[in-house]
């Protein structure tokens, strides 16, 4: 709606004459009222837009959250399936296989070898180092 329509709704020429105000003061007052109305309209439009943007943003975030949750769940299911398929299988490593011969050889060469197995296998290395018979593979 044009601003001009609002000006005429507040002041008519007969009202301006009845107030005995100079025409410039009346026009100034009319412009002031029209600007106030326009500001109120603008404020209301901005509040409506902001509310709409908040709703849209919330919907987008909910959709993204759902997508991420689905992907995470699918990835976890794939990891779970992979883990279950590996249970009971021998884990293949890029490291050479460690056995008692290799440990005895490495210990005899004065090089310190770091064993990447559990602590209960240290007695095998200690026995090999002491020259005692080794009865267990690493």
At residue 55, the 3 state secondary structure works out as helix
The predicted pLDDT at position 83 comes to: 86
Domain finish residue from 86, 103, 123: 86
Query: Has residue 74 got a pLDDT over 70?
Result: yes
77 and 14 fall within a common domain: yes
**What is the pTM (predicted TM-score) of this model?**
0.38
Query: Over the stretch 1-30, which tens digit does the pLDDT of each residue have?
Result: 445 544 445 555 555 555 666 688 888 999
117 and 134 fall within a common domain: yes
59 and 110 fall within a common domain: no
Residue 25 vs residues 7, 47, 72, 87: alpha-carbon distances, Å: 14, 33, 69, 91
The predicted pLDDT at position 25 comes to: 83
Query: Over the stretch 107-126, which tens digit does the pLDDT of each residue have?
Result: 555 544 455 555 545 555 55
């Amino acid at each position: 709606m044009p601003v001009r329509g609002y000006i005429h709704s507040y002041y008519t020429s007969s009202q301006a004459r009845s107030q005995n105000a100079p025409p410039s003061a009346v026009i100034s007052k009319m412009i002031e009222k029209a600007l106030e109305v326009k500001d109120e309209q603008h404020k209301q439009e901005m509040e409506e837009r902001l509310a709409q943007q908040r709703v849209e943003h919330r919907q987008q975030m909910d959709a993204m959250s759902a997508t991420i949750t689905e992907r995470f769940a699918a990835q976890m299911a794939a990891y779970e399936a992979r883990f279950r398929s590996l249970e009971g299988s021998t884990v293949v490593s890029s490291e050479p296989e460690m056995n008692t011969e290799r440990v005895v050889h490495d210990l005899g060469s004065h090089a310190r070898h770091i064993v990447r197995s559990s602590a209960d296998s240290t007695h095998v290395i200690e026995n090999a180092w002491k020259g005692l018979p080794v009865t267990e593979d690493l």
